[in-house]
Structure 1
Amino acid sequence: MAKFFVNSEDVFENEIHIKGTDVNHIKNVLRLPVGKEILINNRQGKDYKCIIKLIDTDLVTADIIGELEETTEPAVQTVLFQSLIKGEKMEFVIQKAIEIGVTVIIPIITERCIVKLESDKKTKSKCERWQKIAESAAKQSKRGIVPEVLWPMTFKEALTYAKQQLEVSCIPFENEHAYHIKTYLKNCKAKSIGIFIGPEGGFTDEEVLLASTFQISPITLGKRILRSETAGLVTLANIMYEMGEI
């Protein structure tokens, strides 16, 4: 059953209005007819089972026939602090992290980042594209929310955010050999976890040392060196497995 996300103000007592690009998607891509059942989410974790009542030029109206209990969202909240990496790789990470179950993605600017942000206008455009990818992935994987991709932060800003907003955080690091992710997660009972992932060239020793002063634990993902676009997904998948979400 196709799933769509709307803003809460478009949810009324007996019907829901779908606007924007989803109207074209319903009409011309999926070719859904009047009378077709669909799922609609209010971006706040509530799903509605609906039937399409009217398809207009720029509006689809659907009747609410029931509310569904949300079962797809993980009990553990995860924030992926992903160092900026080249275009398609960054988009891949966003898409797959959302499929796995990430709650928030925060692009971060680290010392060895190859990608450099330019003007605020171009950064805004990137963020808007990343959020569209996030929404598409949330639809495909039947998420109960659309995870946010926040405005990029500096490494220091991200460390501060993690310390203030999350119970624990970890930083996979190629020079860490003793503290394995399996041990870290076995002892972890937190309901919110941050994951710091370095860029193509990895974190510097100084960055990892700084992270440690913010109580962020360096961990190893094993004997093999993983690419930046792989490391975050592996860490997320391990968290979901250990927390009983996979």
Structure 2
Amino acid sequence: MHKFFVPQNFIRDNEAIIEGEDVKHIYKVLRLAPGEEVTINNCNGEEFLGVIKDVNKKEVTVELKEKLLINNESAIQIYLFQGLPKSSKMDLIVQKNCELGVREITPIVTERVIVKNEIGEYKKLDRWARIALEASKQSKRTLIPKINPPIEFKELFEELRKMDLVIVPYENEEGFGIKNVVNTLRDKSIEKVGIVIGPEGGFEEKEICDLKSLGAHIVTLGPRILRTETAGFVCTSLIMYELGDLGGKL
């Protein structure tokens, strides 16, 4: 069944009004017609079984039949803090981490970030938000991950203090990996996990020392050096496998 995210202000009197790019996708690509069932998400984590009432080139009207008890979100909330990469690499980072289940993504400007001027280019947030929305549709997320504006490295620490666990992959770390971290924390209640990924040039040694002083776990992802866009996928996947729902419940 096809799923669509509709803002709450477009839902009233048990009807949802779909507008924008989804309309063309519905009538031209999916060729959905009145009487067909769809799932409507109100962008606040609530989902409804709907039946299409009317389709035209401007909007699609959906009658909401019942609320669905669906929650595809993991009990582990992962917050990704990504060193701002060059060109369009952030597009891929947003897309794939949203598919994997990340709750929020925040670009960070570290010492070795090359495109530091991009911290003021907030127009990119709109594109990243659209990518997050499309990834949420494809992966049937219940919530759309939030894409935050870029922050400076010094601002990162206030955010990390809110986490139950902070993981920082680092190419100079040897031996101590995510499995080791998880094994030492089996008896601890973990709900919020912060993952901090360095940019293309990696972290400065001082930045790693600062993160350690905050209680972050500095880990290796293996003997091979991963690109900045790959490191986030791998780290998120490992955490989701060890603590979340990736790979099933059994």
Structure 1: runs of 5+ lacking an equivalent: none
The AA in structure 2 aligned to 1:211 is L
TM-score under structure 1 normalisation? Answer: 0.93
Map of 2:242 onto structure 1: 242
Equivalent position SS for 1:63: strand
Equivalent residues of 1:41, 1:47 under 8 A apart? yes
Task: Please state whether the residue corresponding to 1:175 is helix, strand or coil.
Answer: coil
Contact 1:160 1:214 in 2 (8 A): no
Deviations 1:73-105 (A, max 9, x none): 000100000111123321111111011110000
Counterpart residue identity of residue 177, structure 2: H
Q: Partner letter of residue 15 of structure 1?
A: E
TM-score normalised to structure 2 length = 0.92
Is 1:185 paired with 2:211? Answer: no
1:118 Cα offset (Å): 4.3
Offset at residue 179 of structure 1 (A): 2.4
Q: Contact between 1:94 and 1:133, CA under 8 Å: does it hold in 2?
A: yes
Which of 166, 182, 185 is matched with 2:163 structurally? 166
- Tell me the distance in 1 between the aligned counterparts of 2:14 and 2:7: 15
Q: Paired residue for 1:32? A: 32
- Computed over aligned residues only, the root mean square deviation of the Cα atoms, in angstroms, reads 1.5
Question: Match of 2:6?
Answer: 6
Q: Distance in 2 between matches of 1:118 and 1:232?
A: 20
| Number of matched pairs | 243
> CA 1:187–1:66 in 2, change beyond 3 Å: closer, same or farther?
farther
- SS of equivalent to 2:38: strand
Q: Secondary structure at the match of 1:117?
A: helix
For the residue of structure 1 that corresponds to 2:235, the secondary structure is helix
Could you tell me which residue of structure 2 aligns to residue 157 of structure 1?
155
Q: Which amino acid aligns with 1:65?
A: K
Counterpart position of 1:96: 96
Deviations 1:191-231 (A, max 9, x none): 00000001111111111111122222211112211111111
Measure the CA separation in 2 of the matches of 1:186 and 1:8. Answer: 42
User: Which position in structure 1 is the counterpart of 2:110?
Assistant: 110
In structure 2, distance between residues paired with 1:82 and 1:170: 12
Post-superposition CA distance 1:118-159 (Å, at most 9, x none): 484xx2211100000000000000000110110001111122
CA contact (8 A) 1:138 1:146 kept: yes
Write the mapping of 1:119-130 to structure 2, written as runs, cut at 5 A.
120=120, 123-130=121-128
Shift of residue 113, structure 1, vs aligned partner: 1.2
CA distance in 1, matches of 2:182, 2:222: 14
Q: Deviations over 1:161-215 (max 9, x none)?
A: 111x222211111111242111112333410000000111111111111112222
Matched residue of 1:92: which SS?
helix
Task: List runs of 5+ in structure 2 lacking aligned partners.
Answer: none
Task: Kindly provide the amino acid, as one letter, of the partner of residue 134 in structure 2.
Answer: S
After the TM superposition, list the runs of 4 or more consecutive aligned residues in structure 1 that deviate by more than 3 angstroms. Answer: none
- Asked if structure 1 preserves the Cα contact closer than 8 Å seen for 2:75 and 2:244, the reply is no
Distance 1:206 1:10 in 2: 49
Q: CA 1:171 to 1:244, structure 2 compared with 1: closer, same or farther past 3 Å?
A: closer
Whether the 8 Å CA contact 1:38–1:51 is kept in 2: the answer is yes
1:72 maps to 2:78: no
